[in-house]
Structure 1
C-alpha cells in the first residue's frame, strides 16, 4: 500500500512537471507565480493600454502628467508593449528618460513588473492569471463612454464579461468621466452591492491629450508611421467601431473602409480636405500587416485623443470616440449603415435623435453634409452642447492631475463614488460546470426563488469552450444574479502546484503533507477570482470538487456552507466501468467538512443518511437540510415553447436552439411519444446508480405481455454503450427510445403516460418534482432517502431489482398507480423558507 501511494505521488509529480510547460499560457502563469512570491513591491508604475498596443489612451495621459510631478523621479515607469517595432517612434521619444523602461508584453520582464509594481494601470484588462497584491494599487481607467450596451446589458454577458468583472473587482480605482458612466459600472456591471474600491468621477484622463497635444508632433508621428498627411489641409477622419459577436474575432470590414475613402474623396474638395480611416484598436491588430493599408489608414499606435486634437470633421458610427471629440467643439457626422442589425444583437444606450450630429445609412448623405458642414453644425449646435454638458462636465485638460492628487496625495473635495455594500447580505454560490444534471437544475431553480430584496447574489460557474448546452445554461441564469464565469486559472510555483495535487489526487493526508499544504496559493486564488470583495456567505452548491471546496474556505470572514445532493458514501463507492471515479475526490471533500460552518443535505432523510455515514466528532453538530426548490416557471415556459408539427401521421416536436456563436438559430425535429402506445419515461444521466440496465431488462419482460408499451430514456452518460447493447440484446430496438439530453424535456414528458425512477440511490430528485408538476403517475424505487420524495397516496413505491420494476410497470398497466394533487407554488415557498433559515 505504501509503495502504491509513493508511486501515485511520483505520477502526480511528473504530471505537474509536464503540465507547467504544456502551453505558453501555462508557462507564463507559472513564471508569474514565481515572481509573485519572490519579488517585493517597489516604487514602480506599470502602464498598459489595449493589451499593450502602445502608449495610448488614459494610461498615457496619466504617464505624461506624472512627468510633471516633483516625485516622478522617485518611481520607475514601465510600459508594456506588444510590438516594439510598431512603437519605435514613441519608444525613441522616451528612450533617454532614465526611469522609463519598455517591456515586451508577456515576457518575463513584463511578468516581473506585474509582480513588483506599486501602481498597475490598465484601460482594459490584465490577463486571467494576474492577481493584485494587497500592497499594489490597481487603477482601471477603461476606454471610453459607452454608446453600445456593456456589461450585463449584453445578451451573452454571463460569459462575455468574465475577465472584465475579474479586473473590476480587483481594481482599487475605476475612472469615470460622468454620472452616466459611473452608473454603467454600478448597474450594467452590477458592481453596486459588491465593489469595495472607489470610482473617481472627475473626467477621462485621456481627454487631457486633446487640450495639450502638440499638432506638429502628432503630424510628425503620422508621417513616420506612413500616413500621407498634408499639414496644410483640413482632416476628415472616419473612425468606426469594431463589429461582430465575438470581441476576439471582429468583422474586419476592409471593403467598407475603401468604399468610404473612394466615394468621399471623389466628391469633396480635396484641395481643402484630406480623408483618413482609423480602424478600431481590436480590428487593427488583425489588419496591420496588410500592404494595401498604407497612406490613408491611421495605425493604432497613434494616441487617439492626440489625433483628435488635429481632426476637423469626425465621421463615426456607434463608437465611443465621438464623446471624446466633443471636447474639440468640432462637427460629428454619424454614418451607421448597419444600425438595425447591430441594435438587434447588442443594443445602444441612446436613440439617434440624441446624438450630437446627423445620422444616416447612406454614404451620399455624409458627402452632402461635408460639403455643407457649416449649416450642419449650426443645426445641431444645441443638442451638441447638451451632450457636452452631461458627457464631459469635468474635462478641462487637468483630469490626470486630479486623479494623481486623489491617489498619490490623498487630496479631498473631488467627486468620488462608492458601491453600497451594506444594504444587502452578500452571498456567493459555486456550482462549477453547468452540466446537464439535477444539481444544475436545482442550482438554477434556487436562483429563481431567491429574495433579491434581502440578498446580493453572485453565482460562480464554469462551462467548457465546446459545451454549447452548458454555456446556454450559464446564459439562462436569473438576471438578478451577478454571474461570474471562471476565467483563467490559478498561479502557483512548482511546490504549491505539486502539494495541491498530492492533497487532491492521492488521498494522502499525513502530517508531513498537511503541513506543506499551499494555503497561500488558495488565498491568492480567491483574490484572483473575486478581487477585493468580501462575502457574508459562501456556498459550495456542488459539493464534489475538493479544489473549489478548498477555494471557498479561503473566503475571509464569510460563513461557509457545503451541499450534499446525494447519499455521498454510496457515491464515493460507486463503480463505473470497473473504476471508482469519486473515491479520492470525495474522501478529500469529506476531510474538509470540519472547516465549513454548515453541511447541508437536499432533504431530511439524505441528511440523516449522510450524518450516519460521515459524521465525525468535529462535524456532528453541523448537519442541516434544505429541500431542493422547483423551477416551476421554466416548466411552464418550456411547455409553451415547443411547437407541435404533424407529418405522415406522426407528431414531431420542433426545437429551436442557438448555435455556438449565439447569432443564428437551428431547428431540430424530434418524434414525440405516440398516443397509441403506453409510454413510460425516465430521466437521468446514464450512470450506475440510475439502474437503467435493470429497468430495460424489466421492460423486456413487460413488453412481451404488453406490445403497445414503450420506454423512453432521456439523458446521456458513460454507460450509454452498455445501455444500447442491452437494448439490442433484449430485441427492444424501436421499443426503448434513447433521446439523449433534451434542453426542454417537459413537452416530451407530457406526452408520456407514466414516469418511472428505479434509482439505487438519490438525493432529492428534482425530476420527481417536475413530473409531479406535470401531474404524471409515478413509480419510484426505494432508494435510501426516498421518504423525502413521497406523498401520501401519491406514487407507487417498488424495490429496485429487475422483478420489482417489472411488477411496478405492470401495476400501472392494470390501473393501480394512484393519482394525486400537487401545488408547486406552495412547495417552493416551504423549500425556500428552509434554505433561508440556513442564512439566519
Structure 2
C-alpha cells in the first residue's frame, strides 16, 4: 500500500521530537550527577589536603588564553611575593563534552587547595562546590555598568531559563567579592546574581580591566598596534563597530544589517571601519570584497580594549563596552534597529532611550548622518553625565582597591 508522504513526514517529525526530548532528559540527568555528586565529591576528597597559602587560580570558562578582564590583575599579582598564580581554562566551547567534564573535575580538585580564585564570568562549577571558608572567590566580571539583562534578571524571559532552572544550578554562589564600576549599578548585580540578601559582596571598587585606559604606555601601544594592523588609520578617522551577539550563547550570531558598501561610498575618503564581533560569534558576516579597503574585521587580531583606545567614534547596540568607552568622552552611535525585539528577548536594566548617551539609529543612512554630525558638532555633555553615573569608580586605581579588599590581613599580602 502506498505511504502518504505527509503522514511519513509527520512520523519523522514526531520521531525527531521524541529523540530530542529523550536527549534533553539524559543531558539534564548527567548534569545533575556532575554538579550534585561528582564535582562536590572530587572537591571533598581533595580538601583533605590543607589550603596552600598564596595559591591563586584564575578561572576562564571558554577561551584558551588569559582574557583582557584578567590581565591587569594577573600582572599586579605576579609582582607580589608569596603568591603562586595559575590560569585554568575549562574549554567549555572548544572541547568535546566529555573533555569539558574532565576539566571541571580536575578544577574541582585543584581549587580545593586554593586560597584565592578569580572569575570573570558566571560559574556553575564554583557555585556547586562545598567551598571551605579559607578560600576567597573574587568575581571581576567581564564588563562594566548595567545594560542588557543577565542572570536571574532574565528569568522567564526568552533568553533566560525559568527561576527554578536557574536556582537548580546556580552560577553565583560562593562569592566573596563582586567588583562593579559604580555605586549606581550595585542593585543590578545583586539582582542578577541573587545576592540581595548578602549586602557587601557587590562593591563599587571599580573594574580592574579599566585601569589600562589611564595608562599612557598602554594607550600608545594599543594605537601603534592598530596602525600596524590597518595602516590606513594613520590618515583617516577610526570608527569601531562592536555589536553584541544575537541569539543564545551556543548558537550566537553576529548582526549583518549595516550596509558597508554605502558607508564606504559616503565615508571612505575620510574614515575606516574596524569591526569587532563578540567572542561568542564564530561564523561572522563577511566583509564584501569591494569594501576591503574601508572595512576590516579585526575580531581575532585586537582586543576590544585596544580598539577603544584608538577609536575616534564607536558604533554599538547593546554591548557594555559603551561604559568603558565613555571614559574617553568621545562620540557613540547606537545602531539599534532591532531594539524592540531585543528588549522582548533579553531586556534592559534601564529604559534604552534614556540610557544611550548618543543618537539611536535604525538604518545605515541614519548612522552615516550621525557620523558626519559627530565630526562637526559633538556635544560631550551626555557622555560625561553617563560616565559620572555608571563609571565613577573607574579611575585607574580599581586594581589597587580590589587587592586591598581581597588581601587585607592575609599573610600572602
Separation in 2 of the partners of 1:34 and 1:222? 48
Higher relative contact order (CA 8 A, sep 6+): 2
Structure 1 Cα separation of the partners of residues 148 and 394 of structure 2: 22
With over 3 angstroms needed to count, the CA separation of the structure-2 counterparts of 1:339 and 1:122, relative to structure 1, is same
Kindly tell me: are residues 410 and 287 of structure 1, through their superposed partners in 2, closer, same or farther at Cα, counting changes over 3 Å? farther
Q: With structure 2 as the length reference, what TM-score do the two structures score?
A: 0.73
Q: In the alignment, is residue 78 of structure 1 matched against residue 76 of structure 2?
A: no
Q: How does 1:442-481 map to 2 (within 5 A)?
A: none
Distance 1:309 1:219, change over 3 A: closer
Q: Which residue of 2 aligns with 1:387?
A: 386
- TM-superposed CA distance for 1:231, in Å, is 5.3
Deviations 1:223-254 (CA, angstroms, capped at 9, x unpaired): 99xx545452442111111222x33332x136
Distance 1:163 1:333, change over 3 A: farther
| Alpha-carbon contact 1:51-1:124 (below 8 Å) kept | no
User: What secondary structure does 1:184 align onto?
Assistant: helix
Q: CA deviation at 1:147?
A: 1.5
1:44 maps onto 2:55 in alignment: yes
Q: Describe the superposition over 1:7-29 as per-residue Cα deviations: whole angstroms up to 9, x where unpaired.
A: xxxxxxxxxxxx99xx9999984
Contact 2:243 2:255 survives alignment (8 Å) = no
SS in 2 for 1:309: helix
- 1:325 deviates by 0.5
Alignment partner, residue 206 of structure 1: 209
What is the CA–CA distance in structure 2 between the aligned matches of 1:277 and 1:178, rounded to whole Å?
Answer: 28
**Alpha-carbon distance change, 110 to 74 in structure 1, aligned in 2, over 3 angstroms:** same
Residues 320 and 300 of structure 1, relative CA distance in 2, 3 Å threshold:
farther
Report the counterpart of residue 512 of structure 1 in structure 2: none
Q: CA RMSD in A?
A: 4.0
What's the counterpart of residue 179 of structure 1? 183
Matching residue of 2:132: 133
Equivalents in 2 of 1:254, 1:357: separation in Å?
Answer: 20
- What's 2:328 paired with? 328
Asked if the contact 1:165–1:189 (Cα under 8 Å) also holds between the matched residues in 2, the reply is no
How far apart, in 2, do the equivalents of 1:202 and 1:383 lie? 24
Listed as ranges, the matches of 1:405-804 within 5 Å are 405-409=404-408
Residue 351 of structure 1 aligns with which residue? Answer: 352
The offset of 1:55, in angstroms, is: 2.2
Structure 2, unpaired ranges of 5+: 1-28, 95-101
Aligned to 1:56: 67
Structure 1: how far apart are the matches of 2:231 and 2:109?
40
Partner of 2:111: 114
| Residue aligned with 1:324, SS | helix
Q: Contact 2:336–2:360 (CA<8 Å) still a contact in 1?
A: yes
- Give the length in aligned residue pairs: 359
Q: Offset of 1:107 from its aligned partner?
A: 7.6
Structure 1 Cα separation of the partners of residues 309 and 168 of structure 2: 30
Q: Are 1:367 and 2:359 an aligned pair?
A: no
| 1:78-113 alpha-carbon deviations (Å, 9 max, x no partner) | 122467xx9xxxxxxxxxxxxxxxxxx928765554
8 A contact 2:190–2:202 mirrored in 1: no
List per-residue Cα deviations over 1:579-614 (Å, max 9, x = no partner).
Answer: xxxxxxxxxxxxxxxxxxxxxxxxxxxxxxxxxxxx
Give the aligned partner of residue 396 of structure 2: 397
Tell me which residue corresponds to 1:276: 274
CA distance in 2, matches of 1:296, 1:239: 12
1:123 and 2:120 are equivalent in the alignment: yes
Q: For residue 333 of structure 2, give the secondary structure of its aligned residue in structure 1.
A: strand
Per-residue deviation, 1:315? 0.3
Distance 1:165 1:319, change over 3 A: farther
Residue 153 of structure 1 corresponds to 153
Change (3 A) 1:118 1:261: farther
Q: Which string of whole-angstrom CA distances, capped at 9 and with x for unpartnered residues, describes residues 144-198 of structure 1?
A: 22212334432345537827983423100011212232111234544222x3762
| Structure with greater helix share of residues | 2
Please name the residue that 2:9 is paired with.
Answer: none
- Are the equivalent residues in 2 in contact too, given 1:56–1:301 (CA < 8 A)? no
Q: Is the 8 A contact 1:356 1:383 kept in 2?
A: yes
Shift of 1:41: 2.3
Q: Aligned pair in 2 of structure 1 residues 201, 29: CA closer, same or farther (>3 Å)?
A: same
Cα contact 1:240–1:317 (8 A) shared by 2: yes
- Describe the shift of the 1:26–1:61 C-alpha distance in structure 2 as closer, same or farther (beyond 3 A): same
Contact map agreement 2:256 2:285 (CA 8 A) in 1: no
Instruction: Compare CA radii of gyration and give the structure with the larger one.
Output: 1
Cα distance change of structure 1 residues 363 and 311 upon mapping to structure 2, 3 Å threshold: same
**How far apart, in 1, do the equivalents of 2:256 and 2:273 lie?**
16
| In structure 1, distance between residues paired with 2:256 and 2:296 | 14
Match of 1:532 in 2: none
Q: 1:187 to 1:254 in 2, by over 3 A?
A: closer
C-alpha contact (below 8 Å) 1:62/1:205 kept by paired residues: yes
SS at match of 2:112: helix
Q: Is the 8 A contact 1:235 1:311 kept in 2?
A: yes
Pair 291,126 (structure 1): closer, same or farther in 2 beyond 3 Å: farther
The farther-off stretch of 260-269 and 288-297 is 288-297
Query: Quick one: distance in 2 between partners of 1:108 and 1:344?
Result: 37
- Write the distance in 2 (CA, Å) between the matches of 1:116 and 1:346: 38
The TM-score, its normalising length taken from structure 1, stands at 0.38
Q: 1:288 to 1:116 in 2, by over 3 A?
A: farther
Q: Structure 1 regions of 5+ residues with no counterpart?
A: 1-18, 87-104, 412-840
SS in 1 for 2:249: coil
Q: Which residue, 269, 272, 287 being the options, matches 2:283?
A: 287
Residue aligned with 2:70, SS: helix
Q: Deviations over 1:343-377 (max 9, x none)?
A: 23332223314421111101111112223323452
